[in-house]
């Protein structure tokens, strides 16, 4: 396994070229339409175009502090990026591997429920969703609202009592918010939350655990869920039907799933506590450090525009293309 780690001097202006990564702890990877990798670490935001690494020291909201999540603004065709951090939520315009801060939202002067933002997502109706310890903050057309997970006549504010782990939006208007211990909230949003319900055990039988680490929408409307008891795939609006579950018995390398992504050929990748698994045409293939992965605990993964796959761990990045592994870390 080739390990890339170069060192040279840094300049003070923004952006700043760096040797490789500011930290080995990778929390999120997203890739824009030009193939630039935008990488969240516990010490700020870094970008990589395949040759040059950059950090953004003059953007204090993103410099040398943990970033929990990243997403592109759906309305901007991957030219604006949102970051969730312990200092609020920020949006920046990105072009030619340059980040320009455009918006900064926090508790004191905006409508966020907390300065701690665990997750962020946007939809094509100009709605922004922010997962905080005090529930879900929602911003649409400069108007803020919030949602605690209450559904039907049940006073179940589980999005406050359980940590929000991920947010995913589907093209049919449904939104999915996963939590650690409370299952998943599903709802629609126009000017307010509507149609809210909850996926939880044993009601949603395919979801084998209420500890849901991630939710990802694929094929426009179907959802994958990663839990501490395997992965679940849901293909309809029916809470109690159309689920398929997978665990280590079926072929997953570990039952604890942190990240899921669908590849360009229709394969599905799973980042787990003990390596990576790929499901394609009902065949499972797994990779660990013995194969070239830099570390077995995979926090995040992303599909590049060429179909190759990037894996973020607590020990750096790995890249798999045409069966060849390359890894990057900070020594």
Give per-residue pLDDT as tens, 34-68: 999 999 999 999 999 999 999 998 888 898 999 99
Residue tagged 């903050």 (tokens): 137
Which pLDDT band holds residue 319 (cuts at 50, 70, 90)? very high
Residues 6 or more apart in contact with residue 282 via CB below 8 angstroms: none
Asked if pLDDT for residue 13 goes beyond 90, the answer is no
Query: What is the Cα–Cα distance from 303 to 320, expressed in whole angstroms?
Result: 10
User: 108 pLDDT exceeds 80?
Assistant: no
Tell whether the model's pLDDT for residue 219 goes beyond 50.
yes
Contacts of residue 30, Cβ cutoff 8 Å, sequence gap at least 6: 37, 38, 70, 71, 72, 81, 302
- In this prediction, residue 18 carries a pLDDT of 77
Q: What is the pLDDT of residue 153?
A: 80
- Please state the pTM of the whole predicted model: 0.93
Q: Taking the CB of residue 216, how many other CB atoms lie within 10 A of it? A: 18
Say whether pLDDT at 7 is over 50.
no
193 falls in which pLDDT band (50, 70, 90)?
A: very high
pLDDT of 8 reads: 30
pLDDT at 19 exceeding the cut of 80: no
Q: How far is CA 230 from CA 67, 191, 213, 285, 314, in A?
A: 26, 35, 10, 16, 21
Which residues are bridge partners to 103 per DSSP? 91
CA-nearest of 91, 56, 55, 53 to 74 is 91
Q: CB–CB of 327/3 below 8 Å?
A: yes
Instruction: Determine the pLDDT at residue 14.
Output: 58
Check pLDDT > 90 for residue 155.
Answer: no
pLDDT band for 82, please (50, 70, 90 cuts).
Answer: very high
Share of the chain above pLDDT 90, in %: 86
Judging by DSSP bridges, how do beta strands 275-280 and 283-287 pair with one another? antiparallel
Domains in the chain: ranges and CATH:
106-246 (2.130.10.10), 248-315 (2.40.10)
User: What pLDDT is attached to residue 2?
Assistant: 39
Summarize the confidence of residues 103-111 as an average pLDDT. 85
Q: Which pLDDT score is estimated for 285? A: 98
Instruction: Tell me the pLDDT band of 213, cut-offs 50, 70 and 90.
Output: very high
List own/partner pairs for 88-95 with CB under 8 A and 24 or more apart: 88/61, 88/112, 88/115, 88/117, 89/117, 89/120, 89/128, 89/130, 90/59, 90/61, 90/62, 92/59, 92/62, 94/32, 94/36, 94/38, 94/47
Residues 6 or more apart in contact with residue 22 via CB below 8 angstroms: 41, 43, 44, 46, 55, 64, 330
Provide the mean pLDDT of the chain: 93
300-316 pLDDT, tens digit per residue, is: 999 999 999 999 999 99
Nearest in space to 43 (alpha carbons), one of 74, 19, 22, 18: 22
């Amino acid at each position: 396994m080739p390990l890339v780690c170069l060192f040279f001097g840094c300049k003070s202006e923004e952006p700043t070229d760096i040797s490789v990564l500011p930290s080995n702890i990778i929390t999120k990877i997203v890739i824009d339409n030009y193939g630039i990798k935008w990488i969240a670490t516990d010490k700020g935001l870094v970008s990589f175009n395949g040759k040059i690494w950059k950090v953004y020291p003059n953007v204090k909201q993103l410099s040398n502090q943990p970033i929990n999540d990243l997403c592109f603004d759906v309305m901007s065709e991957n030219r604006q990026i949102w970051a969730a951090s312990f200092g609020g939520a920020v949006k920046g315009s990105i072009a030619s591997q340059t980040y320009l801060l455009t918006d900064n939202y926090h508790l004191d002067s905006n409508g966020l429920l907390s300065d701690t933002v665990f997750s962020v997502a946007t939809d094509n109706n100009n709605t922004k969703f922010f997962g905080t310890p005090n529930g879900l903050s929602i911003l649409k057309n400069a108007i803020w609202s919030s949602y605690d997970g209450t559904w039907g006549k049940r006073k179940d504010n589980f999005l406050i009592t359980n940590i929000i782990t991920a947010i995913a939006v589907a093209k049919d208007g449904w939104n999915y918010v996963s939590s650690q211990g409370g299952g998943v909230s599903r709802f629609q949003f126009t000017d307010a939350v509507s149609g809210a319900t909850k996926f939880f055990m044993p009601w949603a039988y395919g979801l084998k655990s209420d500890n849901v680490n991630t939710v990802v929408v694929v094929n426009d409307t179907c959802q994958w869920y990663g839990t501490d008891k395997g992965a679940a795939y849901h293909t309809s609006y029916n809470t109690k039907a159309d689920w398929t579950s997978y665990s280590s018995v079926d072929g997953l390398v570990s039952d604890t799933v942190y990240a899921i992504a669908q590849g360009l050929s229709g394969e599905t990748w799973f980042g787990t506590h003990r390596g990576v698994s790929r499901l394609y045409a009902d065949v499972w293939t797994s990779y660990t450090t013995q194969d070239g992965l830099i570390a077995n605990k995979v926090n995040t993964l992303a599909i590049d525009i060429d179909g190759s796959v990037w894996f973020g761990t607590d020990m750096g990045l790995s890249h798999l293309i045409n069966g060849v592994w390359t890894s990057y870390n900070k020594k």
